[in-house]
Structure 1
């Protein structure tokens, strides 16, 4: 049986993410069915997060995720043959941790993604405190 990402699944994952991080100002998405779902629309409305849809046929408008997807394929998915879903999840998790915690990116000022997120969260908290006080 295949795995299909649904809007409900996306909403649940986003809820887990925002429980440990700052709620994003917006989320850029393509026109996949999981992003055009009522479940995701409801989640975004409840959280006050605008969904910014890229124009159809313009993946360059979401270049960061397109780059990430290519790197995931090249460095992980295309170099492993997975015997099971559990094995795939374990291998991808190791790759994800390395990517987020060990691999600095020039597009992020030579910070790792985790370091970049930490700086952005701190900046957002300060900005929100200044705006509310």
Structure 2
């Protein structure tokens, strides 16, 4: 659907996914290759491996992008740039003591881990 909506090819696209069968099938890989889209997948097939990216994508889409209609790649790039700046510079994060990532990064503050780690202590990797 995304490719159908493009009016012209876009250079430098990367499709990142987990190793779901729908993303590994010949037809899907061929579609990406035919459109010069680089393929990126998680390393080990561990569903927790992609959790951080999924969380950030969910926040960006749910808190910011659902309110806008984007009609071009340029509009998408501009809006996403604004959203990333807002996310990093103005949005307080409970996991870092209600500070912004920018505050923590600029001051090299050490923070207590205020988030839950869902990885088991002795995890087994799939498809080593």
If the length of structure 1 is used for normalisation, what is the TM-score? 0.48
Name which one, 1 or 2, has greater alpha-carbon Rg.
2
Which structure exhibits the higher relative contact order, with contacts defined as CA atoms closer than 8 Å and separated by 6 or more residues? Answer: 2
TM-score, normalised relative to structure 2: 0.49
Considering fraction of residues, name the structure with more helix: 1
